[in-house]
Amino acid sequence: MASDRLTLAGRIILVTGASSGIGEALALALAAAGATVVVAARRADRIARLAQRIAEYGGNALAIELDVLDEASIARGIERVRTTYGRLDGLVNNAGMLGRGAAGDADISGWRTSIETNMLGAMLVTHAALPLLKAAATADIVNISSTAPRNPNAGSAPYGAAKAGLNAFTESLRKEVAPQGMRVTLVQPGLVETEFYSHVEGDVRRPWMKELEPLLPSDVGDAVVYVLAQPRRVNINELMIRPTGQLG
Catalytic positions, please?
Answer: 159
Helix (H) or strand (E) holding 170: helix 157-177
Residue type, 153: N
Task: With H, G, I as helix, E, B as strand and everything else as coil, classify residue 208.
Answer: helix
Angle at the Cα of 11 from the Cα atoms of 9 and 97, rounded to 5 degrees: 115
| C-alpha 70: how far from chain center | 17
Distance from C-alpha of 228 to C-alpha of 221, rounded to nearest angstrom:
11
Torsion of CA 17, 23, 24, 25, to 10 degrees: 180
Strands of 90-93's sheet, edge to edge?
Answer: 60-65, 36-41, 12-16, 90-93, 140-144, 183-189, 238-241
Nearest in space to 78 (alpha carbons), one of 70, 88, 90: 88
Distance from C-alpha of 82 to C-alpha of 161, rounded to nearest angstrom:
33
Distance from C-alpha of 186 to C-alpha of 145, rounded to nearest angstrom:
7
